[in-house]
Structure 1
Amino acid sequence: MDEAEASGQVWRDEVRARPTTEHDRDALARLVEVDADSFEVELYERAADPQVLSIDRAQRSQAGQYARHVRRLREHQQHQGS
């Protein structure tokens, strides 16, 4: 595995491991309801931004598609090797 491929794998692993933006938005909404701290409001507004939500979904989709692609390649190689 070359450096670029390893870096891509690290990124995909991080995308899949982190909470979704929707999860963050919902947790921040609960905090804002309690005390409306200005920093929490700012974080909530960022997490609720449609563009941020769209980017998060796209990153997760890309990471998942690549993982399925790699899995299919391995399965195909195993079937050819049998």
Structure 2
Amino acid sequence: MDEAEASGQVWRDEVRRRVTAEQDRDALARLVEDDADPFEVELYERAADPRTLVIDRAQRRRAGQHERRVRRLRQRSREVGP
């Protein structure tokens, strides 16, 4: 595995491990409901930004597409054999 591929794998693993933007938004909404701290409100506004949600979904989709592609390539190489 070369350096670029290793770096990509680290990124994909990170994308899969983190909570979704929707989960972040919902957790921050609960905090804002409790005390409406200005910093928490700012974080909520950023998390609720449609662009943030679109970017998060796109990153997750890309990571999943890559994993499915790698899985299919491995499967095909096993079917063809050495």
> Structure 2 length normalisation: TM-score?
0.97
Structure 1 residue identity aligned to 2:31 = L
The alignment of Structure 1 onto Structure 2 pairs a total of residues equal to: 82
- Could you list the per-position Cα deviations for residues 3-48 of structure 1 after superposition, in whole angstroms to 9, with x for gaps in the alignment? 0000000000000100000000000000000000111101100000
> Structure 1 length normalisation: TM-score?
0.97
Q: Look up the SS of the partner of 1:28 in the other structure.
A: helix
Q: 5+ unaligned residues in a row in structure 1: which ranges?
A: none
- Equivalent-residue separation in structure 1 for 2:17 and 2:79 (angstroms): 30
- Equivalent-residue separation in structure 1 for 2:8 and 2:34 (angstroms): 39
- Equivalent-residue separation in structure 2 for 1:17 and 1:76 (angstroms): 28
Q: Give the structure 2 partner of residue 35 of structure 1.
A: 35
Alignment of 1:13-52 (within 5 A): 13-52=13-52
Q: Look up the SS of the partner of 1:19 in the other structure.
A: coil
Give the C-alpha shift of residue 81 in structure 1: 1.1
Structure 2 residue identity aligned to 1:14 = E
- 1:65 aligned to 2:32? no
- RMSD in angstroms over aligned alpha carbons? 0.9
